[in-house]
Structure 1
Amino acid sequence: MTQPPEPPRGTPPPPRFDVTPEEIARVVACFYERVRAHPGLGPVFAAHVTDWPAHEAKIAAFWRNAILFEQGYSGNPLAVHRRAGDVRPGMFMPWLAMFDATLAQELPQETAQAWSALAHRIGQGLRYGVTERQVLPGGVPKLF
């Protein structure tokens, strides 16, 4: 069995799944509309996000980088969430549930499922990174 030829150096890999930059921007905008209305997450985000259009553009760039391998994002999401000081591990489940609902509403099922799987892997890493720093006496993780 032969392997496909290697792409030329400097050529980005193919997208992880079929989604357009416009769909990414739409998902991000719809998702943050839900976040702003959420009684638990809305106030946390409002305390840190002063320019929603700029925030949404940055997050859309993050997803274009993660999915389409575009190079327009620079940042460290784990450091940002740690530095915020009020992000708790128990916030990730409602965050992901809202993200999943947005994906299901805005995208074809196959695309929504693929993006959801990626978001859950990233969310798990972020949650672990936040939890690792927030422990109770005896090393028990602070989950809420």
Structure 2
Amino acid sequence: MTAFPPRFFVTGEEVDRMMVAFYAAIRRHPVLGPVFTAHIGETDAAWDAHIEKIGRFWKNAILREGGYSGSPMMVHRAATDVLPEHFPLWLGLFDETADRLLRPEAAAAWSALAHRLGGAFRMGVEEARRPADAAPRLV
């Protein structure tokens, strides 16, 4: 049985560099930094562990390496301090980082995937916050 090909071409080293740079920007961000720190912790070791875990997520999603288990949708839905308005900020930092570090075609492809996932997570967060008796939002 053959492995599925990567969704697009980036190396594992590029994923690692992207994660380090992206999460450095997140830590400095005045809105996102405190939210992430509340969940990750304040120490460099805690951030390094998170960066490594999310790197495994992206290597699985892009390179199809495996090695990641978890439910990021459930994590985002359960985090009551993660708000729908955080996702455009997150995606903006992601795009800036990708544009700075990657070849244009890789940056565009990875950003498109991140936007699809970010949109789904935002909708999941909105749904988790919707009152039980409210009509569902369909767009």
Please report the TM-score for the alignment, with normalisation by the length of structure 1: 0.87
1:19 aligns with 2:14: no
Structure 1 residue matching 2:82: 3-state secondary structure: coil
Among candidates 89, 112, 116, match of residue 111 of structure 2: 116
1:32 aligns with 2:27: no
- Match in the other structure for 1:48: 39
User: Whose Rg is larger?
Assistant: 1
- Deviation track 1:10-41 (CA, whole Å, cap 9, x = no partner) reads x3210011100000000011000000000000
CA distance in 2, matches of 1:41, 1:22: 25
Q: Percent identity?
A: 52
Structure 2 residue matching 1:17: 3-state secondary structure: coil
- Deviation track 1:81-102 (CA, whole Å, cap 9, x = no partner) reads 1222110011000100000000
- Match in the other structure for 1:79: 74
Q: Which runs of 5+ in 1 are unaligned?
A: 1-7
Moved over 2 A (4+): 135-141
- Match in the other structure for 2:63: 68
Displacement of 1:135 in angstroms is 2.3
One-letter identity of the residue aligned with 1:16: R
CA distance in 2, matches of 1:90, 1:19: 29
Displacement of 1:139 in angstroms is 4.0
Structure 1 residue matching 2:34: 3-state secondary structure: helix
Aligned length: 132
CA distance in 2, matches of 1:113, 1:28: 16
